[in-house]
Amino acid sequence: MTLIKSISGIRGTIGGTTGDNLTPIDAVKFAAAYGAWLKNDRTKETYRVVVGRDARISGSMIQELVMNTLVGMGIHVIDLGLSTTPTVEVAVPMEHADGGIILTASHNPKQWNALKLLNSKGEFLNGVEGEKILRYAENEDFTFAEVDDLGKITVNDAYIDLHIDEVLDLELVDVDAIKAAKFKVVVDGVNSTGGIAIPRLLDRLGVIPVELYCEPNGHFPHNPEPLKEHLGDICALVVKEKADFGIVVDPDVDRLAFIDETGEMFGEEYTLVACADYVLSETKGNTVSNLSSSRALRDITRKHGGTYHASAVGEVNVVQLMKDTNAVIGGEGNGGIIYPASHYGRDSLVGTALFLTHLAKGNKTVSELKASYPPYFMSKQKIQLTPELDVDGLLETMATTYAHEDISTIDGVKIDFEHHWVHLRKSNTEPIIRIYTEAGTQEEATRVADAMIQEIKKVAGL
């Protein structure tokens, strides 16, 4: 199961056979399906799509296939080249484009790549739109343009700088306060496009960047998911450099994690908590995160007089609930900051600028800031799926077993106990069941997760 088709796009491993992996034929088919959807969704004379990619090794190949497929559909392409997911999202409305495609498999290892699909607002497609594209692809329901009607490719490599301009213009980003603080920050760009964008942002903010793995060559020096077990090098370098903190992003720069000045993880979950704490102190309002995110955001939101809401997992679900509740900030506990004053997409550049402002104004170290927040600890585990496993039936059984607790079934099964919670769900991006738990200590979170895994295996006969 190495080709995963979902409403948000298509993701798979490079090489292998068509339909089982992300081969050139699959890339062309899904790019054509997206083009067909675009042209059927909006009747116009001309169509424009923004395309950018992270630095993974297969990126250039996949991008050329995708762009020239769109050209073959009679669609004009704005080629951002090496870019970030939030930069492409920002570029779509700035270009008055009809949509966007980002070539990135986010935190997946180097053998993976994906087509992430955007609408004319620069936001991920909803379920109805995604299903239409899947049908177009399955039925090969697309017509290519005749020779006089082919699209054209225009290269524009200015958008990372334009994105940074947009971030610096945000009302709650205090450039002067950040410059006055004279921060020194280590950046781990995992040899992808974060190594271009984040140091450039820091430089504009008067922050001294110390670059680690910032060469955008696609050779990830460690597992690209920004979790503690993968980040020993930056933790050591923050201490060695006597830096104020460290910044870690994933390959497409929509997940953001911090390392404190002692070389300890600030915690991906607390990226959103800290940014929300600052935004809510300046702008009263509500917040949203997904069901797998920390209770700490709820606590901070209530402290500032707002209301917290939880959505199903997935950026499109978080964004919709943010719009429905007029949330002033939201995101996901994996370090994804969504700040509507900028745009409705997870954005590590926005998150970095808000965090730096919060630090500069608060006059605290990063470890002191973390200590000021409610202490919660998470365990994030997974069980590999087998083709014969009835996952939906398994989740129904777990919901029935714990029906006497506070249960949510809008996305898998979330069981809220008094002092901890458990969330069980099928992954949208990998053939696994995710088991997330949170409790007041790491030991308790791990114990709860281990016990739940054993219970699931027993029920499933694994």
Q: Residue 311: how many CB atoms within 10 A of its CB?
A: 24
Could you give the angle at which helices 391-401 and 442-460 cross, rounded to 10 degrees? Answer: 120
Amino acid identity, residue 101?
I
Tokens of 156: 């524009």
Do residues 98 and 47 lie in contact, with contact meaning Cβ atoms separated by under 8 Å?
Answer: yes
Strands 286-290 and 308-311: parallel
**C-alpha radius of gyration, the chain, whole number:** 22
Phi, psi of 342 (to 5 degrees): -100, -70
Angstrom distance (rounded) from CA 59 to CA 4: 18
Phi first, then psi, for residue 228 (nearest 5°) are -50, -40
Alpha carbon distance 69, 82 (integer Å): 19
Neighbours of 115 (CB within 10 A): 27
Give first-to-last CA distance, the chain, whole Å. 19
Active site residue 294: no
List, edge to edge, every strand of the sheet that includes 99-103. Answer: 3-6, 9-13, 112-118, 99-103, 48-53, 76-82, 153-155
**80 token code pair:** 């951002």
- In 3D, which of 403, 387, 418 has the Cα closest to residue 395? 403
Rounded Cα–Cα distance for residues 191 and 87 (Å):
17
How many CB atoms neighbour CB 3 within 10 A? 17
| Active-site position among 106, 292, 348, 379 | 106
Structure tokens at 290: 């997904």
Q: Where would I find the H helices in 81-226? A: 85-94, 127-139, 159-168, 175-181, 194-204
- 152: exposed, middle or buried (C-beta count within 10 Å: 0-12, 13-18, 19+)? exposed
Q: Tell me the DSSP string of 393-415.
A: HHHHHHHHHTTTSEEE-SSSEEE
- Catalytically active residues are 106
